[in-house]
Amino acid sequence: MGITINRPVVIKAIVTESFKRLYVQDLEEAIKRVDAIEQQLISQIRRAELERTLTPQARAIRQQLELDAARQDAAKAELEIRLREAQQLALNSEFTQGTVESLVEVSVGDNLFTKLGRTEIVVKDGIIMEIREQ
């Protein structure tokens, strides 16, 4: 008798010109989206400042807007770092894209560490090139 359990599987991409171009483009678009959100928040903060009423509720809303703007700024900074890293990726190197879950069957007598060991799928332009199990 065995059971099926989840295990993480790392997805790695072999860096090609196509991968690099699409990744950089995705990051640039994400930065533009964050910029747009940030601009909306800034305009809402300015509108709140123009209103002369300084009720506790208005102050709380303004503080929340400022907090949201700071979060967007931090997100933008992180995206810009990732963009610089993406632009410097070496062709044919491996880039970790993320993790997915996989099911694995385990039974009495199995080595759990082997079954749950690091598993990687290596892709090149979306095509699986290799499956590594350690």
pTM score > 0.85 for this model?
no
Where on the phi/psi map is residue 98: left (φ > 0), alpha (ψ -120 to 50), or beta?
Answer: left
Residue-wise pLDDT for 113-133, tens only, equals 888 888 999 999 999 999 998
- Per-residue pLDDT of 85-116, as tens digits, reads 999 999 999 999 999 999 999 999 999 888 88
